[in-house]
């Protein structure tokens, strides 16, 4: 009897030991990323949306200068990210990536130094596949070597794409690169760009700081763009794909509905709506326009600090769609200090008059734990584009909203 008890205890002990080892190793396996980065959605600029692979050192140095002189840096944008096309078509004899010597005659370290000298952080692109989407050498099989190279250049941000990955497992590939970055020892934001194909919001929280949720955006508001064998999505289409995954985002781990197209050809109203919605979504704000040639309107959209502060709110909550009627949608985002952002979007092709009686609405949300009754509490309404207070929630809101326009409000509780 005694022996049987002993055996039972032994076997329970070993089971517990194995369980503890499994827990320890799996938490180690996943806890790779630099936890302290991107506590609010990253803000920056990326070369892809305007230039694709047509980049070169001089043009990019001018872009860095414009980043600073236009006020983008002062508005909170920090990262300067080179997308696809920065490298030579072949690795060198040691298997190392090399910057295309024609595009970057001074080399990548010198360019990174220039970016840093302006008080910005430097980002770069590669791909989990054998080749990048534009056909340059991919990182598959070179993860640790590439991460060490990036660290030696002073890279602060890596966007990691998903082309040419036929037989590769997505979770493994992104985890391997995350571990390689950790091993290289330099804190880098890790931006997963597998287009939401493998539900990264379910597994990437400890792997990287942001993950794309859809295919590529294009500079269109209500329509998609057929590119032959694939389609890029307009702003509204991408917006519609975000609501069901909002609970997976928060400080240090963000859903990424792709980079901004502000200043790339939509109307002023559409640019404001796109920017407002990305701020409501707590999306990374990565501008993708030519910073050297911004109109005053484009600058005013990208640098509106009151709208940006909704994006950068420390609670890190994504908005939810509260209400929808006749082409008008209302999005609500919980902010710190019991404040709220409320964005009315007119998706329709005609101007609409809204008459919204706050007191007829109870706003509740399980994710952000909102429970608001405007009969019990009053809020001051601030129009974040007009930059003025427009009354309180004690009176119905009466406004005209143009087609594809937003009314973006911040509500502050009156104590």
Q: What angle do helix axes 108-117 and 57-69 make, rounded to 10 degrees? A: 10
Indicate which single residue of 60, 82, 83, 410 sits in contact with ligand GLA (rule: CB under 6 A).
Answer: 83
Task: Give the shortest CB-52-to-ligand GLA separation in angstroms.
Answer: 7
* Closest by Cα among 345, 365, 360, 357 to 409: 345
Q: Does the footprint of ligand GLA cover residue 161 (CB under 6 A)?
A: yes
Q: Residue 400: which residues within 8 A CB-CB, separation 6 or more?
A: 351, 352, 353, 354
Q: Which stretch binds ligand GLA (CB under 6 A): 22-30, 126-134, 296-304, 399-407?
A: 126-134
Task: Give the shortest CB-215-to-ligand GLA separation in angstroms.
Answer: 7
Q: Does the footprint of ligand GLA cover residue 87 (CB under 6 A)?
A: no
Task: Give the shortest CB-119-to-ligand GLA separation in angstroms.
Answer: 25
Q: Does the footprint of ligand GLA cover residue 134 (CB under 6 A)?
A: yes
Indicate which single residue of 193, 283, 330, 340 sits in contact with ligand GLA (rule: CB under 6 A).
Answer: 193
Q: Does the footprint of ligand GLA cover residue 233 (CB under 6 A)?
A: no
Q: Does the footprint of ligand GLA cover residue 48 (CB under 6 A)?
A: yes
Count interface residues toward ligand GLA (CB under 6 A): 10
Q: Does the footprint of ligand GLA cover residue 216 (CB under 6 A)?
A: yes
Q: Which is nearer to ligand GLA, 86 or 275 (CB)?
A: 86
Indicate which single residue of 57, 84, 156, 329 sits in contact with ligand GLA (rule: CB under 6 A).
Answer: 84
Q: Does the footprint of ligand GLA cover residue 283 (CB under 6 A)?
A: no
* Closest by Cα among 118, 136, 116 to 127: 136
Q: Which residues are catalytic?
A: 161, 216
Task: Give the shortest CB-160-to-ligand GLA separation in angstroms.
Answer: 10
Q: Which stretch binds ligand GLA (CB under 6 A): 70-78, 100-108, 125-133, 240-248?
A: 125-133
Give me the residue whose beta carbon is nearest to ligand GLA.
133
Q: Which is nearer to ligand GLA, 257 or 316 (CB)?
A: 257
Q: Which stretch binds ligand GLA (CB under 6 A): 130-138, 312-320, 329-337, 402-410?
A: 130-138
Q: Does the footprint of ligand GLA cover residue 173 (CB under 6 A)?
A: no
Taking the C-alpha atoms of residue 39 and residue 261, their distance in angstroms, rounded to an integer, is 24
Indicate which single residue of 38, 99, 133, 204 sits in contact with ligand GLA (rule: CB under 6 A).
Answer: 133
Q: Which stretch binds ligand GLA (CB under 6 A): 129-137, 263-271, 359-367, 396-404?
A: 129-137
Q: Which is nearer to ligand GLA, 232 or 346 (CB)?
A: 232
Q: Which stretch binds ligand GLA (CB under 6 A): 132-140, 166-174, 279-287, 291-299?
A: 132-140
Binding site for ligand GLA (CB under 6 A): 48, 83-84, 125, 132-134, 161, 193, 216
């Amino acid at each position: 009897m005694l022996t049987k008890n002993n055996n039972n205890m032994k076997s329970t002990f070993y089971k517990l030991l194995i369980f503890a080892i499994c827990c320890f190793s799996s938490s180690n396996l996943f806890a790779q990323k630099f936890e302290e980065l991107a506590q609010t959605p990253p803000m920056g600029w990326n070369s892809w949306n305007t230039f694709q692979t047509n980049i070169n050192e001089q043009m990019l140095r001018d872009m860095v200068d414009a980043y600073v002189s236009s006020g983008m840096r002062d508005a909170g944008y920090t990262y300067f990210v080179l997308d696809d096309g920065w490298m030579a078509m072949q690795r060198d004899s040691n298997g190392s990536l090399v910057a295309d010597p024609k595009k970057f005659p001074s080399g990548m370290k010198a360019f990174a130094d220039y970016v840093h000298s302006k008080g910005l952080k430097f980002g770069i692109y590669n791909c989990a596949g054998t080749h990048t989407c534009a056909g340059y050498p991919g990182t598959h099989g070179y993860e640790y070597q590439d991460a060490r190279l990036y660290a030696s250049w002073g890279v602060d941000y890596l966007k990691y794409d998903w082309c040419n990955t036929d037989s590769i497992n997505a979770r493994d590939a992104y985890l391997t690169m995350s571990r390689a970055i950790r091993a290289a020892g330099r804190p880098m934001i890790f931006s997963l760009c597998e287009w939401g194909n493998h539900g990264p919001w379910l597994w990437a929280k400890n792997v990287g700081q942001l993950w794309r949720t859809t295919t590529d955006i294009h500079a269109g508001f209500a329509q998609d763009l057929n590119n032959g064998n694939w389609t890029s999505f307009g702003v509204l289409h991408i917006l519609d794909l975000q609501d069901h995954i909002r609970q997976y985002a928060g400080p240090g781990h963000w859903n990424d509905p792709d980079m901004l197209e502000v200043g790339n050809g939509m109307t002023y109203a559409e640019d404001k709506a796109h920017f407002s919605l990305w701020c409501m979504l707590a999306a990374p704000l990565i501008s993708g326009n030519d910073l050297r040639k911004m109109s005053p309107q484009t600058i005013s959209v990208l640098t509106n600090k009151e709208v940006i502060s909704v994006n950068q709110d420390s609670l890190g909550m994504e908005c939810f769609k509260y209400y929808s009627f006749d082409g008008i949608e209302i999005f609500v985002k919980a902010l710190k200090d019991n404040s709220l952002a409320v964005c009315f979007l007119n998706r329709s092709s005609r101007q609409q008059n809204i008459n919204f009686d706050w007191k007829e609405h109870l706003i509740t949300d399980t994710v952000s734990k909102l429970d608001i009754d405007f009969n019990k509490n009053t809020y001051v309404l601030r129009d974040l584009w007009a930059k003025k207070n427009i009354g309180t929630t004690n009176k119905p809101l009466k406004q005209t909203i143009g087609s594809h326009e937003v009314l973006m409000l911040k509500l502050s509780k009156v104590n």
